[in-house]
């Protein structure tokens, strides 16, 4: 089977839903990507693309609780058509993306990157001579450790 790669730039238009699928985390949401055309009178709405995004495993773990309805996103993954029967037994289909990467569209929002550190290094606090810390008059009141040279 061929996998068709796709990158979608748009906005999250539904609530982000987290659940378990067997032993794996699954996060789903829908993204709308809207184009606009520049005309002599300003901007005119163009075509729209709506896709359901499926995030599995580590991608799901990274998205869960950090992405919300209305957020501008960039989604990279593989697009496919999901065919199913609805409650009345009618054949339906939807465009879906199995995401390999999801991130904020930094051209339309501000972010603070907090990378996952799989094995954080524990740093020991520096050893300070007790008399050096007490030389600062504000050391006791500020809650901060102040060292003098």
Quick: pLDDT tens for 35-82. Answer: 988 899 999 999 999 999 999 999 999 999 999 999 999 999 999 999
Q: How confident is the model at residue 98 (pLDDT cuts 50, 70, 90)?
A: very high
- With a CB cutoff of 8 Å and minimum separation 6, the contacts of 53 are 8, 28, 29, 30, 31, 75, 77, 96, 97, 99, 102
pLDDT at residue number 116: 67
129 neighbors 112 (Cβ within 8 angstroms): no
Count each helix (H run) and each strand (E run) in the chain, helices first. Answer: 3, 6
């Amino acid at each position: 089977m061929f996998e068709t790669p796709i990158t979608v730039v748009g906005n999250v238009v539904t609530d982000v839903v987290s659940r378990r699928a067997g032993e794996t985390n699954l996060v789903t949401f829908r993204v709308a990507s809207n184009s606009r055309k520049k005309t002599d009178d300003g901007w005119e709405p163009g075509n729209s693309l709506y896709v359901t995004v499926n995030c599995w495993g580590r991608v799901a773990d990274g998205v869960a609780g950090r992405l919300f309805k209305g957020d501008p996103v960039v989604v990279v993954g593989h697009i496919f058509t999901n065919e199913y029967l609805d409650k009345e037994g009618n054949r339906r289909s939807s465009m879906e993306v199995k995401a390999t990467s999801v991130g904020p569209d930094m051209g339309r929002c501000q972010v603070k990157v907090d990378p996952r550190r799989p094995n954080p290094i524990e740093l020991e606090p520096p050893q300070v001579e007790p008399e050096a810390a007490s030389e600062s008059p504000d050391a006791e009141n500020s809650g901060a450790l102040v060292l003098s040279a």
